[in-house]
Each structure stands twice: as C-alpha cells, then as structure tokens.
Amino acid sequence: MSLVSETTERIEKRLRLRVITPEKHTFDGDVDMVIMETVEGQIGVLPNHTPVTTILGHGPMRIYDGEKIEILAVFGGFCEINQKGVTVLADVAERPDEIDAERARQAKERAERRIKERQLELDEKRAKLALRRAHVRLELSGVPTSHETAKK
C-alpha cells in the first residue's frame, strides 16, 4: 500500500469534531474517536457512527487523535452525530489550561456546604451539579479529588 493510499484511508476513518460554546469555538478538527458524558451516561463515537442527537451532561470529553488524547471539561448542551461528524453545542467547554483550580476548589467547598446544611431554600439538584462541575474542573486541572460526593 502506498503512503498516499494509507494517508487517504486514515483520513476516511476519522471524523470531524466541532465543539462550540456561546463564546468561542473550543475545538475544530479531525479525530479518531471522542468519548463524552450525556445525561444518560457516556457515549463513544467512532467514524460512521449511527446518527443521533443527545443532551450533554457534565464531565470530561476525551478526544483521541492517534496517540494523542486531549481532554475538555464540558458542561451541558447538545451533541449531534451524523455522517459529517460530531457537532457539540456546549453551554461551557474548557481546556485544562483555562481552568482556575482555586476558583473550582472554592465552588466545591460552597456546594458541599450547601448540600450538608440542607437549607429549605436550597435547590439540592443545583448544588450537586455545581459540585460535579467543580470535581471535573479540579480533576482536569490536576488537583486530586474524590468523585463519591459528586455522583450521589
């Protein structure tokens, strides 16, 4: 097999991934695979995936490009998978170098305190989502954290 045909075959076996937020285009490129959180669990997408539209959850998005793995923190939005690739319209998508670990640590502490205090006016679901977002941000910024509280 020639170098040209090997390269063409590799390109055909890839998919186009676009990650867009209201503020910016966070990612736009051809990749081998993407794994992301949906409200129903994780989904892995390879080239020629069955077309589907899904609601995104809160969690890391793993982007596989050859031997390279890039991770984004993605929080909410929609994902459309079709023959052209994957388009993610996320509420928030952050690269690890964009995450403020100290701010995430403070958000984690606030959410844990609100859950523990169980105030009547507290929207417990919102506090748990805030805690999940803080855990994801801390994990991607390299700060070790336990996910037990975030997944309850």
Q: Where are the domains of the chain?
A: 3-97, 99-151
Q: Once rounded to an integer, what is the mean pLDDT over residues 142-146?
A: 66
Q: In the predicted model, is pLDDT for residue 1 greater than 80?
A: no
Q: Which CATH architecture has domain 99-151?
A: Up-down Bundle (1.20)
The alpha carbon dihedral of 131, 137, 141, 145 has a sign of positive
Q: Does domain 3-97 have CATH number 2.60.15.10?
A: yes
Question: CA 66, CA 32: separation in Å to the nearest integer?
Answer: 7
- pTM equals 0.74
Q: pLDDT digits over 85-117, tens only?
A: 999 999 999 998 888 888 888 888 888 888 787
Per-chain mean pLDDT for the chain: 83
Domains 3-97 and 99-151 share a fold: no
